[in-house]
Structure 1
Amino acid sequence: MNEFFSDLHIHIGRTLTGKPVKITASKNLTLTNILKAAKFPKGLDIVGVIDCHSPEVILEMENLLEAGKLIELVDGGFEYENGVVLIPGTEIEINDRHCKGPIHVLAYFPSMPALKEFSNWLSERVTNIQLSTQRIYEEARVVQEKVKSLNGLFIPAHVFTPFKSLYGKGVEKSLTEVFDSAFIDAIELGLSSDTNMADQLSELHSYGFLTNSDAHSLAKIAREYQMLELEEPTFKALAQSFKNIDGNTIKANYGLNPLLGKYYRTTCANCFIPKQGAVCPNCGSQKFTRGVFERITQLADAEVKPKRPPYIHQVPLEFIPGLGPKAMENLLNHFGTEMNILHRVNKSELKGVVKKELAEMIFQARMGKLQVAAGGGGKYGRIQKFD
């Protein structure tokens, strides 16, 4: 068994011909650029790119395969020429008659035939197959059945965020209101929650938890990720790791302290002041964005929590005050990748490259010991000071 770093929720901004896929994502976020950046500067081993249903993205994959830069693996997935493994997938918006509001879900496929078949099937049920995260005009359980018929993986995305998520918008109390629980392979937590919070819901105890970036730019890749222990970096081993099969497992989750997330506490929808009553004391508004903390408190029913891999409250390098482009360039020149900086380089080595105070802050970020002020209402939390 070997350890592999993985981020399984990365968007594509544009195709090679410049056509938009995720409209709100960066224009340089192409499939090829993602695969390159995953190796350097990020240091990832496995990436899930969730706009691969788009016909021009499939065409780019086929061109890379024909050029020998991408190789389809026997046990599923695709290896790029730099060693990074691509797990192709899609993000879909479901809002069938059982939903209280729209829900985003992720689906991943092991092979090119499976991906193409799903793309063709999806094209008959969305308005624009070229674009990301389209609303599908189909029942949620039918989507699940189609994904599983192609040996795919089905995962509800960022399940607690206030908008377009399973618990934030889609259901009153239980995922079974919309989904077949047997056809869910794992649960993606999202930036404003962690393992301890999510395990307050007993119906989630049987699922593996994923921590992914939902990156809309190259810089945001690996904002959250997991360390996997796999026999080899393939689709098959990845799927087994969600259920601890044959020694394949999720070894650790690395994510933001939920306080840093954009939707941790309930805040005024206008001025982001934390809710203190029925009316905002700052602007008088009665409209509030419900926070993840409050939503989970409403749903909590578990008396005992299962044993989980450790969830490390790791602060991404981009959040660290004083770590500007020049310091980052120096660090990367010396240590190669962000994963090396965050996991492998000791404190004395860091102090040899950047100022002592910054090295100490990076080390504390690695250990999850930086103090943060809570975010909410769409605004990230912030680093306050040393612990």
Structure 2
Amino acid sequence: MSEVFADLHIHIGRTFTGKAVKITGSRNLTLSAILEAAKYPKGLDMVGVIDCHSPEVIIEIEQLVAKGKLVEMEEGGFRYEDEVTLIPGAEIEVYDKNCRGPLHVLAYFPSLTTLKDFSGWLSARVTNIQLSTQRIYENAQVLQEKVKSLGGLFIPAHIFTPFKSLYGKGVLNSLTEILNPAFIDAVELGLSSDTEMADQITELHAFTFLTNSDAHSTQKIAREYQKFDLEAPTFAAFSKSLKNQGENRVMANYGLNPRLGKYYRTTCAVCGAPMNGSTCSHCGSEKFTKGVSERISELANAVDAPKRPPYIHQVPLEFIPGLGSKTMLHLLDHFGTEMNILHRVKEADLKALVNIQLADMIIQAREGKLQIAAGGGGKYGKVKKN
């Protein structure tokens, strides 16, 4: 068994030829750039890249395989320079006629053959197969059945985000309204929620929770991630971990304190002020973006919760006041990767390298003890200075 740190929701901004994939993603965010950043400075062991259905991304995978930089593994997934596992996937925007709005889902595939098959199937149902998160007007269970027929994994994405998610903005009150629970392998919580919040909803007790970055730039990779215990860093072991098969399992989720998330609390859609009622006390508007915390309160129906891995409110290093780019490079020069800094470096070694106040804040970030000012309305919360 091996410890595997994984971020499984990373977008591609551009292809190797410069064509847009995720239009809002960084121009430098190519597949190769993601794999390099995962290795250093992030120090991840596994990444899920969810725009691999794009034809030019498939070409880049084939090129990397031909060069020997990517090796397709017998148990699924690709090994990059024998250090990082690539799990290829796709994010799809589904508009089911039985749903009150579109929602995003993630699909992951074990091989190049199955990825190509899915890309071909999807291309007949979207306007532009080259781009990320394209909308399909399709029965959601048809999509689930296609993914499962290819040996893939089906995971609803950022399920509480106000826009384009399973429970967001009143789209659904139960996943069973459009999805087959038997074909759901896990659910992704998103940046404004955590395990304790999600387990207030009884129907979610049956599923493993994942926590990922939804990164649109290399800097945002691993702002949320999980630690697995896997028999090997492969697709097969990852798949087993979602069902706790053998000794494969999720050991911990590492994510932002939900109060740091952009949509934690309800805010006025006009001026951005926090709202407690139906009318903004600052500008008088009645338009608002409902916060994740309020939405979960509407859906809450559980009287208990299953035993789960710990959800650790870990603040990314970039959020820590006083930790600038030069200091970050200094830390990386000494300790290798961000995963080392956040998980493996001893407190005494940190204090020997940087000032005590900053070292204390890094330790507090590890342990989820930093003071937080809540976010909302599309703006992140902030870490309060000591």
Give the structure-2-normalised TM-score. 0.99
Instruction: Kindly state the Cα deviation for residue 361 of structure 1 after the two structures are TM-superposed.
Output: 0.4
In structure 2, distance between residues paired with 1:126 and 1:348? 54
Paired position in structure 2 for 1:33: 33
In structure 2, distance between residues paired with 1:43 and 1:55? 28
1:172 match: secondary structure: coil
Instruction: Kindly state the Cα deviation for residue 165 of structure 1 after the two structures are TM-superposed.
Output: 0.2
1:138 match: secondary structure: coil
In structure 2, distance between residues paired with 1:354 and 1:164? 42
2:109 is the counterpart of 1:109: yes
Instruction: Kindly state the Cα deviation for residue 385 of structure 1 after the two structures are TM-superposed.
Output: 3.6
Deviates more, 1:76-85 or 1:88-97: 76-85
Instruction: Kindly state the Cα deviation for residue 172 of structure 1 after the two structures are TM-superposed.
Output: 3.3
Q: CA offsets, 1:152-193, max 9 Å, x none?
A: 000000000100000004643100001011100000000000
Paired position in structure 2 for 1:368: 368
In structure 1, distance between residues paired with 2:274 and 2:303? 29
Instruction: Kindly state the Cα deviation for residue 2 of structure 1 after the two structures are TM-superposed.
Output: 1.1
> Conserved in 1, the CA contact under 8 Å of 2:321 and 2:385?
no
Q: How many residues align?
A: 386
Q: CA offsets, 1:42-93, max 9 Å, x none?
A: 0000000000000000000001111111100000000011510000000000
In structure 1, distance between residues paired with 2:172 and 2:9? 26
1:227 match: secondary structure: strand
Q: CA offsets, 1:90-109, max 9 Å, x none?
A: 00000110111110000000
> Conserved in 2, the CA contact under 8 Å of 1:13 and 1:27?
yes
Q: CA offsets, 1:6-53, max 9 Å, x none?
A: 000000000000000000000110000100110100000000000000
> Conserved in 1, the CA contact under 8 Å of 2:259 and 2:375?
yes
Within 5 Å, give how 1:249-288 maps onto structure 2: 249-288=249-288
Deviates more, 1:189-198 or 1:137-146: 137-146
Paired position in structure 2 for 1:157: 157
Paired position in structure 1 for 2:58: 58
Paired position in structure 1 for 2:379: 379
The one-letter amino acid paired with 1:29 is L
In structure 2, distance between residues paired with 1:122 and 1:170? 27
Within 5 Å, give how 1:181-200 maps onto structure 2: 181-200=181-200
Structure 1 unaligned blocks of 5 or more: none
2:167 match: secondary structure: helix
Paired position in structure 1 for 2:139: 139
2:297 is the counterpart of 1:302: no
Instruction: Kindly state the Cα deviation for residue 136 of structure 1 after the two structures are TM-superposed.
Output: 1.1
Paired position in structure 1 for 2:13: 13
> Conserved in 1, the CA contact under 8 Å of 2:266 and 2:276?
no
> Conserved in 1, the CA contact under 8 Å of 2:42 and 2:337?
yes
In structure 2, distance between residues paired with 1:368 and 1:42? 19
> Conserved in 2, the CA contact under 8 Å of 1:103 and 1:165?
yes
RMSD: 0.8
> Conserved in 2, the CA contact under 8 Å of 1:106 and 1:157?
yes
The one-letter amino acid paired with 2:232 is E
Paired position in structure 2 for 1:175: 175
Within 5 Å, give how 1:46-85 maps onto structure 2: 46-85=46-85
Paired position in structure 2 for 1:224: 224
2:53 match: secondary structure: coil
In structure 2, distance between residues paired with 1:275 and 1:226? 33
> Conserved in 1, the CA contact under 8 Å of 2:166 and 2:172?
no
Paired position in structure 1 for 2:125: 125
Structure 2 unaligned blocks of 5 or more: none
1:205 match: secondary structure: helix
The one-letter amino acid paired with 1:356 is I
Q: CA offsets, 1:261-306, max 9 Å, x none?
A: 0000101012221103222121221100000000000000010100
The one-letter amino acid paired with 1:241 is S
The one-letter amino acid paired with 1:72 is E
In structure 2, distance between residues paired with 1:318 and 1:172? 35
> Among the aligned pairs, what percent are the same residue?
70
> Conserved in 1, the CA contact under 8 Å of 2:89 and 2:107?
yes
> Conserved in 1, the CA contact under 8 Å of 2:169 and 2:290?
no
Q: CA offsets, 1:178-232, max 9 Å, x none?
A: 1011100000000000000000001000100000000000000000000000000
Structure 1 consecutive aligned stretches of length 4 or more whose deviation exceeds 3 Å: 169-172
In structure 1, distance between residues paired with 2:137 and 2:370? 45
The 1:108/1:310 distance shift into structure 2, 3 A limit, reads same
In structure 1, distance between residues paired with 2:317 and 2:184? 32
